Structure 1
Amino acid sequence: MKNVPLADVDHVDRAVLPIGTDYPPGHVLDWHEHRRAQFLYGATGVMVVDTAEGTWTVPPERAVLIPPATRHRVHMLGVSTRSLYIEPHAVPWWPATCTVVDVPPLLRELLLAAVELESDYSLSGREGSIAALLLYEIAERAPLPFHVGIPASADLARLCRAYLAAPDGDATNAAWAASTAMSERAFTRRFRSETGESPAAWRGRARLLAAVPLLRTASVSEVGGRIGYASPAAFTAAFTRAFGMPPSRFAAEHHRPHRRPTGVTKAPKPS
């Protein structure tokens, strides 16, 4: 299925509903939620998924597992998605929070095949086997660390979301504390209690996450400079330490040919 709103097919008696959609650059799926769990795969581009608890940056050819009934927003940056909407009873092992995972070749091909199926695909033979094998493959995926937590309190959450929108390498704990009318020590203690890490560590990770979409159109040295690193080597070392792979991995992927299905032109409204 392509360009079909989930609401039009959610009633269909299938545990797995595959839907493919192409989105224009910069498209935002505003806050919404699904009854079903969602496996959201970006065949191209970068996605940024927000929930009340955190922000997940999904690099090209990766996916994010979104729990059922989770209110979320998705910022699409040149994305062609292949989604699976899955009945919660079919995936009792689904993570309780959003999780970014890799998509190896077998899973990618299964997703591309699945979106060619009708909503009431046969449960036997090839079509039913594709749906069943998708769940086995997804269950094997290990989480990737492309996220930062968002504090529960409104003032700290606003501060963090503003930083994610415009990361500043010169920001300091003292400035952040002053903006919340707290001492630096009290602010740092409170921030750590709500996020599990220090404000400086949080900002460092947020800056590196901000680099992922930038790498689609700029070189490693350009991106490193834009987010405040003194040299490409320093940026590469920090990125690799945080995410287990160098930034050049994503810069190279921007220039790699992708299999983009044809005939998908209009994005449906969130359902």
Structure 2
Amino acid sequence: MPQAAPPVLDGQPGHGRSLARYYPRGLQIEPHSHTWAQVLYAVSGVMWVEVGREALVVPPQRAVWLPPGTQHAIHMLSAVEMRNLYLHERDSRHLSERCEVFEINGLLRELITSLAERARDDDAWLAAAYGLATIELARAPRSTLRIPLPGASDRRLALLCRTVIDNPSADIGFEQHAATVGASVRTLARLFTRELGMGFAQWRRQVQLAVAVSRLAQGQPVSAVARALGYLPSSFSDMFRRELGTPPSEFRPAGTLGFADENAAQ
């Protein structure tokens, strides 16, 4: 897999820093951290972000808040147009001290993209824009779609989880997974509860939801996403709304909803 180095930051508090960069599909940025806080955002494309023992799938409707010193890794699930902001620790103390995923509204999107693309604008404009961006960040609704990841304490659990993440569409039962990794069903069920806080079926559903969000954000039809993950379109939409509180159409780019998908997306 191609890899990229993280940016190097310097400077004093009062003004943020920004990054506007293109990354191809499949590129990975290895685990790293920044001394500055980061707003990780893609104006187009979808990222898989691993922070600690959680994975976050981030379409253009969302961004990730990373406090200073937060180690994270990024995998580009599609070609990504990155637009990141970096805030000095002194300018971000009123924001959350933990990693969060938040919803992007029109104003916040324009602020992030403008700051990333006008990094050399006049100081007064930059200071005002960064100040307004931090206000909007504090007010933005938070997302709860997170995938817990196993630690390194049990190789069998880690192998099973990686198998599901790499191929979430595969219709492989828990018993078959257990046989493949060389553990009993009872042992694996206990590991899931202890390490991930949920059973296998619920965890696999979280992975599938994250994958569905990324595919919908890329403009794939709801019915195609549903069937690729082993669902009928109607049952997929019901499950999606039940788990995320919103229909699949909310995660689709504007103007991509075709007539054939209208019923599936409601």
Verify same fold: TM over 0.5: yes
Instruction: Classify 1:146/1:254 alpha carbon distance in 2 versus 1 (closer, same or farther; 3 Å).
Output: farther
- Does residue 188 in structure 1 map to residue 189 in structure 2? yes
Paired letter, 2:134:
L
Paired letter, 2:31:
W
Deviation of residue 89 (structure 1)? 3.4
Taking the aligned partners of 2:162 and 2:139, their CA distance within structure 1 comes to 32
Deviation of residue 147 (structure 1)? 1.8
Deviation of residue 234 (structure 1)? 0.6
How well do the aligned residues superpose, as a CA RMSD in angstroms?
2.5
**Which secondary structure does the structure 2 equivalent of 1:101 belong to?**
strand
Taking the aligned partners of 1:119 and 1:132, their CA distance within structure 2 comes to 16
Instruction: Classify 1:184/1:94 alpha carbon distance in 2 versus 1 (closer, same or farther; 3 Å).
Output: farther
2:209 aligned partner: 208
**Per-residue CA shift, 1:148-191, capped at 9, x if unaligned?**
10012352233212211111452333233334443322321221
- Does residue 45 in structure 1 map to residue 45 in structure 2? yes
- Does residue 199 in structure 1 map to residue 200 in structure 2? yes
**Which segments of 5 or more consecutive residues in structure 1 lack a partner in the other structure?**
257-271
The size of the alignment, in residue pairs, is 248
Instruction: Classify 1:116/1:165 alpha carbon distance in 2 versus 1 (closer, same or farther; 3 Å).
Output: same
Taking the aligned partners of 1:74 and 1:254, their CA distance within structure 2 comes to 28
1:225 aligned partner: 227
Q: Is the 8 A contact 1:111 1:134 kept in 2?
A: yes
Higher relative contact order (CA 8 A, sep 6+): 1
Taking the aligned partners of 1:184 and 1:47, their CA distance within structure 2 comes to 32
2:88 aligned partner: 87
**Which segments of 5 or more consecutive residues in structure 2 lack a partner in the other structure?**
258-266
Deviation of residue 97 (structure 1)? 4.4
1:145 aligned partner: 144
Q: Is the 8 A contact 2:58 2:214 kept in 1?
A: no
**Which secondary structure does the structure 2 equivalent of 1:6 belong to?**
coil
2:64 aligned partner: 64
Taking the aligned partners of 1:253 and 1:145, their CA distance within structure 2 comes to 23
Taking the aligned partners of 1:30 and 1:135, their CA distance within structure 2 comes to 27
2:262 aligned partner: none
Taking the aligned partners of 2:93 and 2:244, their CA distance within structure 1 comes to 28
Instruction: Classify 1:85/1:175 alpha carbon distance in 2 versus 1 (closer, same or farther; 3 Å).
Output: same
**Which secondary structure does the structure 1 equivalent of 2:79 belong to?**
strand
Paired letter, 1:42:
A
Matches within 5 A, 1:1-271: 6-7=7-8, 10-15=9-14, 16-76=16-76, 77-118=78-119, 122=123, 125-152=124-151, 153-155=153-155, 156-215=157-216, 216-229=218-231, 231-253=232-254, 255=256
Paired letter, 1:223:
V
Deviation of residue 91 (structure 1)? 2.1
Query: TM-score, normalization: structure 2?
Result: 0.83
Taking the aligned partners of 1:96 and 1:177, their CA distance within structure 2 comes to 38
Deviation of residue 73 (structure 1)? 2.0
**Per-residue CA shift, 1:65-98, capped at 9, x if unaligned?**
1233233221222321211112233323544543
**Which secondary structure does the structure 2 equivalent of 1:144 belong to?**
coil
Taking the aligned partners of 1:50 and 1:29, their CA distance within structure 2 comes to 10
Identity of aligned residues (%): 32
Deviation of residue 57 (structure 1)? 0.5
Which of 148-157 and 41-50 deviates more?
A: 148-157
Deviation of residue 193 (structure 1)? 1.4
